[in-house]
Amino acid sequence: MSPSSSEDSTPRPGAAPRAGASPPEDDELSFDVLRNRLGTGDEAAFERIFRRLSEPVFRFVCGMVQDEALAHDITQDTFAKLWSIRDRMDTVDSLRAYVFQMARNRVYNHQRDEAVRRDHEQDVRDAHPDASPPAPDETLDADLLRSLLERWIAELPDRQREALTLRRQKDLSHDEIAEIMDVSPNTVNNHIVRAMRTLRERLGEYRPDVRSEP
């Protein structure tokens, strides 16, 4: 059965390889080799690509949409699409950047499609604002801080959030992030610097007694 023959046939992030899958050492194959094999319709190459990229792509998408179920769906759709356009692999330079770019495009397509609904929900929130949050405890709990950081990241401008979320994938270089975002590496750096400045300011507003590195 080919990866595109049914919705359930594409592996899910975190899923164990199916029986008969290639041994771990096969994952040492370069992305260039896997891209070329995928271009010939090699299902084993597709599964290896999925095994190596699905979790990083899922984490990136989850950071963008802040919804694990939706992130799973977008990740699945990204790899299903990758299989469906396997015959175009000869036009792809960097497979890893290309897959992230596909996922990014699907995130923005979803956000575009949801724009009207989000605007309506924002109008409702503006008409019925939540009560002010209670004053923070003297000790800033690590779990609470992580939750706040995720919320503040979600509130960043789209491009800053995207650059920072991609940067958190530690194996992606500035050049790869620039290719995914279709901007220059210098622009990527500017987005990340501004995002980090905003996060430091938000932390300072929440806890004025907490000093962060400049």
Higher pLDDT, 48 or 18: 48
Instruction: Give domain limits for the chain.
Output: 1-114, 140-208
Residue 56 has pLDDT above 70, yes or no: yes
Largest CA distance in the chain: 60
In terms of CATH architecture, what is 1-114?
Answer: Orthogonal Bundle (1.10)
Tell me which H or E stretch contains 100. Answer: helix 95-113
- Written out in words, the top-level CATH class of the domain with range 140-208 is mainly alpha
- CA torsion angle 144 146 151 155 (round to 10): 140
User: Looking at the chain, how many residues does it have?
Assistant: 214
* C-alpha distance from residue 25 to each of 22, 96, 172 (Å): 8, 19, 22
192 against 137, higher pLDDT: 192
90-122 per-position pLDDT tens digit: 999 999 999 999 999 999 888 887 765 655 555
Using CA atoms, how far residue 112 sits from 105, 109, 170, in Å, is 10, 5, 28
